[in-house]
Chain A
Amino acid sequence: MSNYETLRREAGARWDALNSSQSPLIYLGTASCGRAAGAMQVLEAIRTTLEELGSDAQVIQVGCIGPCYLEPLMDIRLSGRPRVSYGKVTPQKVPRILQSMLVEGEPLPKLAVGHFGDEAFTDQTGIPRFFDLPMLRPQVRVILKNCGLIDPEDIDHYLAHDGYQGFVKALSMQPEAIIAEVQASGLRGRGGAGFVTGKKWEICRGATGSPKVLICNADEGDPGAFMNRSLLEGDPHAVLEGMLIGGYAIGASHGYVYIRAEYPLAVVRLRHAIAQMREKGLLGENILGSGFSFDITIQEGAGAFVCGEETALIASLEGKRGMPRPRPPYPSDKGFHNLPTLINNTETFGTIPHILRNGGEWFNRLGTPGNAGTKTFSLVGKVRYTGLIEVPLGTTLREIVFEVGGGTEKPFKAVQTGGPLGGCLSAEHLDTPVNYESMQQCGSIMGSGGLIVLDESTCLVDLAHYFLSFAQNESCGKCTPCRIGTRVLVETLEKIIHGQGEPHDLEVLSNVSDTMRNTALCAAGQAAPNPVLSTLKYFRSEYHAHIHDKFCPAAVCKDLFEYRIDAEKCTGCGRCIPVCRSEAIRGEKLQPHEIDVTKCAKCRACIEVCNFDAIQGVPVSSTVERLDVGTFTR
């Protein structure tokens, strides 16, 4: 263990030296979300500007701190001053910010979004504290505590933040005591099923068969969810430390990370982190001289949603088609090559080091009874503040959508939880606390943590069709209820969104859904109809509008609306005319324009540029009316 103390001391000294250095530090969020928003171009601009200014500032690339809507985020720390954060940075803004900060030593309150100092600095500059921003204030950061603050490619940064302390503590305990600690924490599987983690570990430890195997499920297949990606990109060692602890507790000597190939940066960061662990003696034979040996292999997934299901994942890891098999036997008895296998979600492993370090009791106090701790969610869709968040379980949907997320621009319609296997909840559910049971009672699931907020411009029939098409594509085809059921649901929904829906179609939808729910082989098939069932239950009127009125109120289903320009709102600015590739819009300057519905391709290019919300979806008019509009005689 003395090795660890040395490692930690050295890391701490490096971290302190960095923070007390005289040269300025520039932190740039270069996780995938930052890169998509242009962080790499900003990085280049920073380097060029630093050269021009002759500055010796150090640039540190960090993971995502959470408020993705502010990306790219660049923080600057001058010697002895707090970090000041600048949001939505473009290469054009970089010279101005750097000139002001590095040369004049003055922050730019107009461009700054927050700082990491104390109240006095706020009084002095007028810049709010970063963690006081409306999106961040209600959050409790445990799992994400290092994300965006440390360099994920530098193991010393992790070590300097109590990294691997939980593992070292575990090494001094009996495996049974570790499992008891995890049980006391009340932690439940963060992949969505919510099985008690400590219980799973206990079963796996007690299973006969050797060697035992450990798998980290990072096959984050839910579209609209990116919690695992962010964690692996921002703080990979937290997950790896959790795996070490798990391996020691159940008596495994080898672990696998099964990660989506669509996350290339996370894969790079993981490989890098594993190499660094090996260098420091935290992986391999006789770790830290404890006698415990453990190794980790990365296996990239090959693009199959169903591989998030544990038995399918194991089949894939064995080089087979990723098809689920009936359970029992559970993987904890017979998993990878029929060996006892512990399989946990990335976030579950990422939580473990905190539990070991601070005690199960501490974690249990966060959250609510039966639903302990905090949980990360990807809050996206039509909310103002999109990004990655962490809140205690039991927080209500209203707090998440309206406080953390800042609400919606257009009126709120629904929130979709649990990914393709979840459901859409309406405004009446906003005061529901988010936990495993309450979400299920509402007809959805909490799932892995995707929260997609929808406003009145989203058509829920179209959304149900979207999810079922996804489920149909991803159905492995092994069991009939899922293979045929998804197909029937998709075809019926297609009829409805194309205007050929009949009243009895709703009965078909609910009957087929019930059959799937009761008879499909795995959770993916059983829960696949959830999007249909929940929208039928809470948004039935939308189905009726599509079937009876042949109208899509959200103006999404192309056959069931047409665009009209509201003459009251249109100022005749003419911006929409050149962007229309169908040449369907005509009008004189300063006179209300008109759309020729016979030419309109409904590509929405005009809506993108209209500043007056003048273009609206209306029910399809009769042929006579159409000809009338089409002639443009006024």
Chain B
Amino acid sequence: MLADTVIILVKILVILLGIALTAGALLTFVERKQSAWIQNRVGPNRANIFGHIRGDKFKDSIKLGGLLHLAADGLKMLLKEDIIPKGANRVLHTAAPAIVLFPVLVGFAIIPWADHWCAGGLTLLVNHRDVCLSESHNLFSIADLDVGFLFVFAIASLSVYGGAIAGWSSNNKFSFFGGLRASSQMVSYEVPMGLSVLGIVMIFGTLNLNEIVRAQGDLLFGVLPAWGIFVQPLGFIIFLTAMIAENKRAPFDCPEGESEIVSGYMTEYSGLKFGILQLSEFIAVIFIASIVSVLFLGGWQVPYLYGDGFHMPHSAFFPLFALLFFVVGGYLIAVGVRREQMLQKIAGGLLVVLGLVYAVMSTTQANGVQHLPYEGVVLLRLGTMFAKVIFMVWLQLMIRWTVPRFRYDQIMQLGWKIMLPAALVNLLITAIILIPLFS
């Protein structure tokens, strides 16, 4: 009992502090750097520590490639004066950032970062699903809720309050507009968001996120992994769009559209309160990336990797994968000509290494089967989940820095007139296809 409590506490600490808050803070830096590269700039690279003057020249010793801006930003937020405007509701104005942050953090509770840890041996069923022979422990998510997905909705709905309260309590017309826009936008986009995911729920027959990921390991037509994006492509697009709209980032950043309504509901915030509002937005980016990965990109599933190793549909798949990784990795290295594209080169290099691994496996495999130790499988799955999350974060930042902002009424039109009918049609088609399968 005590051990369970301790394990849960450790998981909360690791996932909240290790993933949510650290990565959220890191994302402030990543976003600035990535946007700089998109825009042909250098990006933050000035902040340094232990800088000193030698002779008549300023020498800066440690820069860490600009990573120290993170610390500088945090310090600035902490030390800045916290202003509560005259006539503002002090209690609500102070509480609002916390109300914004809370649901974003709580959402992480149900993300399965890898499959449950199986203490004993595994047996593989014919459909490749594994059955744990002894006790299995839920080690890689804080809560393994059977209502999993409904919990996401409940939490997402809660986050409406933060923006609305922040806007209302600031005693500023611009903030008020921001709050109004935020609440109406978030309420509107919850509808297509929910409907777009119902298709996934219908296909996999469960609300439990880990079960959904497990089901995505099945193969369609014996070849294609049954990832959400393959069985629900339209649902994926609608869900991703709705989630970005929920998070109020460009192109849906009307509530904080800095041109016409200054900064929307953030206008009257300063210091750490403003920092928290910003941070929760970045954490939400990661949350969106993880929930989209879990529902649509197979979560921790590596294609054809099961409890005891790889089971390829055909032995030619190993060299094929190796070739794919070589080509993509080589391309990334080849086009990354500038110094700023170092990260791209590193990613390309990793892909080439991965291709090498597959090439090695293609010589040691037997009939498309390559056994791996269980610990290795778990590590691979964790790594895959993180890679997918990083990819989705990258995609969101790409979208953020490429497109301009919608107008408020255009967002509403898109939500109610295009995405809602599209989600309903998607649901209908899914149901029509599923009926003969179940009856």
Physical interaction between A and B: no
